[in-house]
Amino acid sequence: MFKLSYFLEVLPIIARKVNVTFELTIVSTIFALLIGVVVAIINYYKVKGLHQLTRVYVSVMRGTPIVAQLYFFYYGLALYSAVIRDMTPLVAVAVVMSFNMGAFMSESIRGALLSVDEGQKEAAYSLGMTNFQLITRIIIPQAVRVALPPLFNDVINLIKMTSRAFMLGVPDIMGAAKIEGAKTFRYFEIYAAVMLIYWVIIFVLGLVHKVLEKKCANMY
């Protein structure tokens, strides 16, 4: 039976590990976005020699489970790389999550770039605009509005993805929950607390998303 007193007791214990989730999310989001932009540009312009490689990368990252990627990187590739062997579990998880989500973000960004009508580009060139002016005045303003919702969805998925970090020994929210569960076996209250913490984080992110959408609409 649900015990409210224990729920209120365990909630702050698990919540103390929120900082680990935030660290993973922020670092992975930054690098995933950088990877996503580069890959999206390569695929958008079909850069010779790189376009095919990036399509394979996106296909593999999107087509295989994140758990398999974590184990392959941390336990498989580590057999052949001293650099990976020397990584802490936290760094290894951040690397894998960055490359995984970078593939998803690249498709979100590429889709946003493709949403800009070709007629507008031709009209811009006919008015004597340079490539830089075309990108900054025509493509980016429209692409940002289109890319923002799917990119925020990607970040939300990234936050939920951090729950896999404990599988490599990272002491995150799920790691703390597992430890508490082993002590008390009160899994109902423990994982209810976990769900509440994740829900609050994602709810706040949703509010930030709405604010940014309004600012982008007013800006452009």
What are the residue boundaries of the structural domains of the chain, listed by start?
A: 4-219
Q: Which tens digits make up the pLDDT trace of 42-65? A: 998 888 889 999 999 999 999 999
Q: What predicted TM-score, i.e. pTM, was given to this entire model?
A: 0.88
For residue 148, give Cα distances in angstroms to 13, 47, 75, 115. 34, 25, 35, 13
Q: Which tens digits make up the pLDDT trace of 128-164? A: 777 777 777 777 778 888 888 899 999 999 999 999 9
Q: Which CATH architecture has domain 4-219?
A: Orthogonal Bundle (1.10)
The pLDDT score that the predictor gives to residue 41 is: 87
For the cut 60, the answer to whether the pLDDT of residue 18 exceeds it is yes
Q: Transcribe 63-117 into DSSP letters.
A: HS-HHHHHHIIIIIGGGT-HHHHTS-HHHHHHHHHHHHHHHHHHHHHHHHHHTS-
Predicted confidence band of residue 217 (pLDDT cuts 50, 70, 90) = low
d(CA 29, CA 99) in angstroms, rounded, equals 10
- Please state, for a pLDDT cut of 70, what percent of the chain lies above it: 98
Of 176, 205, 183, the C-alpha closest to 18 is 176
The pLDDT score that the predictor gives to residue 142 is: 80
- Please state, for a pLDDT cut of 90, what percent of the chain lies above it: 67
For the cut 90, the answer to whether the pLDDT of residue 93 exceeds it is yes
**How high does pLDDT run on average in the chain?**
90
